[in-house]
Amino acid sequence: MFFDLNIRGSSLENNITLARQASEYGWDHINFSYNQNDFQNALDLREGLKDSLDGIISFDYTLEIKSTNINEIRKTANKFRNKASCISVIGGDLKVNRAVLENIKIDVLSRPYLKRYDSGINHILAKEAMRNNVAIELCFEDVLKSYLAPRAKVISNFRDIYALYRKFDFPLILSSRAESIFDIKTTQDFVSVFKQIGLNDDEINEAFSTSKAILEFNENRNEFIFKGVRRVNDEA
């Protein structure tokens, strides 16, 4: 199953075009991501999308928080927790990276390497990610839209994250962050690129499983009383 938790959402028509293209290229599920300012309005598009994409591809919404203020991130995450199937925060700032990985209510730290000279993750943050089950997201777009030296640096940052991933086994997810039909690739091409830049087949499959697990976990989030205890509806 191929899951993409970060396709940038915009207007209804554009979303439909992207979703149809993604379905044609072999994706099974996509999440349209909106930032905290647009997310509430985007929820109104859900019915229109449902009608147009019924039987073509399943979709949901990701809230993508972009802020360097830790309190604002925490408040926004709490506010939209029940409305979004996935909450991700754009990283890059070390304080943000740390605050996000310590917050169990956030699902994904997106691009911790953004605008940095290093990967933005060290062994301590990797352990926090593992402890709080916060996934680290690597975006295909960052490789696609850069070239020469910047592309080499992004790939180098990816490799640093892979090394920590192999040691600490935190959740890792891969996404395209596509905003137009020029950014969407077939699933095989997507896998090929990540294989070329250092992941193996098992790790890529694991990354897609993690994306699926995040969505399933959030569907039942209300049933969790506290960590490790879940209310079940078992009449037998």
Partner 1 sequence: MRLKVLPPTLRKNSRYLTLDIKSASPITKDELVNMIWDACIRFQGECMTSNFNLWVMKFYEIEKTDEYAHYKSIVRCQRDFVENVRSSLALTYRYNGNLVSITTIGLSGTIKASQKFI
Enumerate binding residues for partner 1 (CB under 8 A).
25, 143-145, 147-148, 180-186, 188-190, 192-193, 195-196
Integer angstrom CA distances of residue 196 from 152, 184, 190, 200: 13, 18, 10, 9
Residue 174 CB, nearest approach to partner 1 (Å): 13
Residue 51 CB, nearest approach to partner 1 (Å): 23
User: Nearer to partner 1 by C-beta: 182 or 226?
Assistant: 182
Q: How many CB atoms lie within 10 A of CB 47?
A: 9
User: Nearer to partner 1 by C-beta: 122 or 187?
Assistant: 187
Residue 121 CB, nearest approach to partner 1 (Å): 24
Residue 166 CB, nearest approach to partner 1 (Å): 21
Residue 12's Cβ-count burial label (10 Å; 0-12, 13-18, 19+) is middle
For residues 99 and 77, the answer to whether their CB atoms sit within 8 Å is no
For residue 165, what is the enclosing H or E element? helix 148-168
User: Nearer to partner 1 by C-beta: 65 or 191?
Assistant: 191
* Token pair belonging to 21: 């293209």
User: Nearer to partner 1 by C-beta: 50 or 145?
Assistant: 145
